[in-house]
Amino acid sequence: MSERVHQLVITGMTCGGCSGRVAKVLNATPGVLQTTISHETDSGVVVTTDALSTQDVVDIVASTGFAVSA
């Protein structure tokens, strides 16, 4: 199984609760192996299996209500 690393810019997070919510949604997604989300740096690093594309990850983060780009 191969892994993909997705580097994201996530804006609109203002606290640890925000970044925690994004991480919680991502970690509940099949194929997500690891997440590092930071509201301090407006960034995220998501490690997934090959089953998830970068666009899939962007769409998942966007569903939490934050602006995101890869």
What pLDDT was estimated at residue 22? 98
Give the full edge-to-edge strand order of the sheet including 32-38.
Answer: 32-38, 43-49, 3-11, 67-69
What pLDDT was estimated at residue 15? 96
The architecture CATH gives domain 3-69? 2-Layer Sandwich (3.30)
Report pTM: 0.93
Domain definitions of the chain by residue range: 3-69
Task: Quote the CA–CA distance of 15 and 31 in Å, as a whole number.
Answer: 26
Torsion-angle region of 65 (φ positive above 0: left; ψ -120 to 50: alpha; else: beta): left
What pLDDT was estimated at residue 49? 97
Per-residue confidence in pLDDT tens, the chain, 70 aa: 799 999 999 999 999 999 999 999 999 999 999 999 999 999 999 999 999 999 999 999 999 999 999 9
What pLDDT was estimated at residue 43? 97
